[in-house]
Amino acid sequence: MATALPRFLQRGVRLMPNDPTYKPGQKAPRSGQYGIEGPRGGKTGVERTVVKGEPLPPSEKTGQRYRLVDPTKHR
């Protein structure tokens, strides 16, 4: 007897994006816009501009992380 998959898995929805997340205070690996995500991966709609090598700024709430959403185009 086969186990039925949950509906969201049948549709091919990804639970977690493959892009890495970064903690506040970590150095930015690339320059660009970093989006702030909640502790469970939900988007907050807030972005910060960070230059490569600079530390990511403190977050407003505990457990929030950063994800690169728009890398800088020039070098």
Q: Is residue 7 part of a domain?
A: no
Residue with tokens 């186990």: 3
Q: Is residue 4 part of a domain?
A: no
Q: Is residue 49 part of a domain?
A: yes
Total number of residues shown for the chain = 75
E strand spans, the chain: 32-37, 43-50, 65-71
Range of the domain at 56: 18-70
Contact 35, 56 (CB under 8 A): no
Q: Tokens for 1?
A: 């007897």
Q: Is residue 27 part of a domain?
A: yes
Specify the pTM.
0.72
Report pLDDT for 14.
Answer: 42
Adjacent-strand bridge partners of 32: 50, 71
Q: What is the number of domains present in the chain?
A: 1
Q: Is residue 37 part of a domain?
A: yes
Report pLDDT for 3.
Answer: 61
Per-residue pLDDT of the chain (75 residues; tens, 9 = 90+): 556 655 555 554 444 457 899 999 999 999 999 999 999 989 999 999 999 999 999 999 999 999 999 999 876
Report pLDDT for 13.
Answer: 40
Q: Is residue 9 part of a domain?
A: no
Q: Is residue 5 part of a domain?
A: no
